[in-house]
Structure 1
């Protein structure tokens, strides 16, 4: 795929991200964080799961769909998490809380990339596994790992969060 086309994949990501952030703003106080997190995790997992199916530069539509799904799912989770984290933060403390939030988010991204890179390196050093198989397996495991936060979301006291949010208004 040409570098310009790869860069253009950020358009479906950005449009889907905008939709997810808007959805969070409109629905968070009505439905709470749990359904938004679950939908976001599953959509992002599906997007990541589509990546191994992109086999050539001709698979532009599939790549664009994968990027849109990842943009929507990731942004839905991120904006929901940020809304949830700041519910009880006072206005005077928002700047510091936001800076801390962004540092934590960047460290989380670094950790995820590091783990998948480490996994790819380990898989490539196992005799008998082809590079393409290792690459596909990393994306498959990353997609499946989206189930972990879904299970953790089941513990969120959703109705209590909605009540707290609406009391803060």
Structure 2
């Protein structure tokens, strides 16, 4: 737990720092072609233009939800802060109905940082006419969260801290 200055215990601020669960090139949400993401209607975050078809756990936690049929999206919940993170592989990839996706975890599974969660076939997604840009979002509606900051200056999003969540 991190505290700022001499605040009372009830005012202490905790910070969760998160690196990207997907390696590749950082893309600001404003540049994502889907308005639900680019307008931040779903929450704050960033996107990655992947260089590999792998999603790994960005922290220790539990798989809160995985889209069982399409396997294109996964929500992971941090083990101590209960902060949830949505990882949405590609745009409109739900229509592939799981073709080109392989889940290595299921809803309710406990996971460790760096553990492989999902693999996806980037060529198959592109051949179907879809973008592989992958938004990583802190969904709105999580009452414990005070602020989400994105560091767009990172060079290696899968190694460096990209998101900072204050609660």
Where on the TM-score scale, by shorter chain, does this alignment land: which range? under 0.3
Which of structures 1 and 2 has the bigger CA Rg? 1
| Bigger proportion of residues as strand | 2
| Bigger proportion of residues as helix | 1
RCO (CA 8 Å, sep 6+): is it higher in 1 or 2?
1
